[in-house]
Structure 1
Amino acid sequence: MIDFWQYIRTLYIVLTMMISAAHAQNSDYFFENNYADYPIITFQENFWGNPKYTIDGNKIKASEVRAFMEIMPGDAKEFMQQHRQTLSGTSLGYASSAVALGGVYYLSKNINNINPQVIRNSFFFIVGGSLLGSIGAQMKINGIRKVNSLVDNHNYLIRQDEISGPYLRFDYRNNLIGQKIDIYDGPNLLTRGQLEALKNKYPELQLNLQKARNAQRLSQTIDVLSLASNIVFITYVVTPRFQSSAPSNFLIPLSITDLALSFTSPLISRSARNRTRVGLQNFNFRE
């Protein structure tokens, strides 16, 4: 009986080695670090802020991206988790817009009977929608940042032997007014002087990053206008004297303006990030 089990164990080890050897011969990607057949994945944010993945301009599904990332199974799993989190954040954003629009609709239905209670009710609708939107926006930001990093890591992994200079990537964070985009060489944050030196050396990089910077400044301007609109609206709600002296039909245009600004600013911020991605990817994989 002992000899039989020893035979089984020996056979198992031999078969495992044979399977591994055959896999090594048929899959150079894992055992010879050769990823020449793997395409570079381009990640951007679409009009609604959801992830969009392309290869040579052709759109692909998130499941296809995960299949390419299976060379690093942990990254592939995390990629799908972060992709889904981003979509969930977008859904909360839609819900927040619906709640805020409900507040505007409620206000418009009671515009002829305007009073402090109507104003406060509509205010709670709009603020509730804003809070819900903030939660969704944070979920989306975290998901987008992580997906961006995972795609950058994957592209570096499959092309590291062809990269002779810096490998640029970026991260971003939201400030009170607008967003801040930071550019890195690998894990190292570039100083303003280092980035300017690279832009002066590579005019195409400078052109792409300047376009992104222009979009970022426009987004910041819109954020300032949105903040001013919020201050005026809150002042109207909490100040009885202001309520009695201001015309009631002032509220609806103000609410619509605030919603329009809150929609436009993220759209332009996404444009700035997409332009940055294109500029950095073109730089990293230039011929």
Structure 2
Amino acid sequence: MKRFVFLCLLFMVFSPILAQQNVTFQENFFNNNRFKIDGVDADAEEVAHVMSSFELSQKNFIEGHKQMKIGSGLNILGMGILVGAFVTYGVSGFTQEGLSTYLILSIAGAGVGTVGGAIRRKGKSRVETSVAEYNYLIDRSNYNEISLQVAPDKFGLVFNF
């Protein structure tokens, strides 16, 4: 009987710790995404797999990550158009015809870069929100448990919902 009680207590103490997998999200200097699951580096697919128990958070994470990639691509494309416009203007010998082409390309590049930045920010917001929501739901789900509490003269089971 003592072994059974000991094993039950051991299981109740360590089961929330083993089931909980916190996810963190941060970006490095070059705006590359870095995810960690319980402090261990992971890629987006692993994070999406861990989030599979909460479908809405997983869906928001996957879509937000795609938005971040698309936004980054558009942002880089916009910068490329701006650089190309300046090079084209320099190759034309800084003439009036070259200036009009430069202005048109510059406006197009700035527009593409601005749209890309907005898409990336929206995706980043979705990823951060889904990671925070997942961590909250994981922490909250650990409170739905049965625990044994012991007082000096009493002991009993406590149900937390």
Would you call these one fold, judging by a TM-score over 0.5?
yes
Q: CA 1:73 to 1:35, structure 2 compared with 1: closer, same or farther past 3 Å?
A: farther
1:43 and 2:25 correspond: yes
Report what 1:148 is aligned to: 128
The residue type paired with residue 144 of structure 1 is K
Counterpart for residue 213 of structure 1: none
Counterpart of 1:130 in 2: which secondary structure? Answer: helix
How far apart are 1:93 and its partner, in Å?
1.1
Please point out which of 82, 91, 109 is paired with 1:129: 109
Separation in 1, partners of 2:59, 2:112: 28
Where does structure 1 lack aligned partners over 5 or more consecutive residues? 1-32, 163-287
2:50 matches 1:68? yes
Query: Are 1:138 and 2:118 counterparts?
Result: yes
Q: Point out where structure 2 has 5 or more consecutive residues left out of the alignment.
A: 1-14, 143-161
The percentage of aligned residue pairs carrying the same residue is 24
Counterparts of 1:142 and 1:116, CA distance in 2: 39
Which has a greater percent of helix?
Answer: 1
Counterpart AA for 1:101: V
Any idea what SS the aligned residue of 2:113 has? helix
Aligned to 2:40: 58
User: What secondary structure is seen at the aligned counterpart in 1 of 2:29?
Assistant: coil
**Matched letter for residue 150 of structure 1:** S
Question: In the TM superposition, what are the counterparts of 1:200-219 in structure 2 within 5 Å?
Answer: none
Q: How far does residue 126 in structure 1 lie from its aligned partner after superposition?
A: 1.6
Contact 1:97 1:129 in 2 (8 A): yes
Alpha-carbon contact 1:42-1:53 (below 8 Å) kept: yes
Structure with more relative contact order (C-alpha pairs < 8 Å, separation 6 or more)? 2
For the aligned residue pairs, the C-alpha RMSD in angstroms reads: 2.4
User: Scaled by the length of structure 1, what TM-score is found?
Assistant: 0.41
1:56 is displaced (CA, Å) by: 4.8
Q: CA deviation at 1:57?
A: 4.4
Q: Which has the larger share of strand? A: 2
Provide closer, same or farther for how the CA distance between residues 66 and 161 of structure 1 changes in structure 2, counting only shifts above 3 A: closer
Equivalent position of 1:85 in the other structure: 67
CA–CA distance in 2 between the matches of 1:63 and 1:146?
16
Aligned residue runs from structure 1 range 198-277, under 5 A: none
Question: How many matched pairs?
Answer: 129
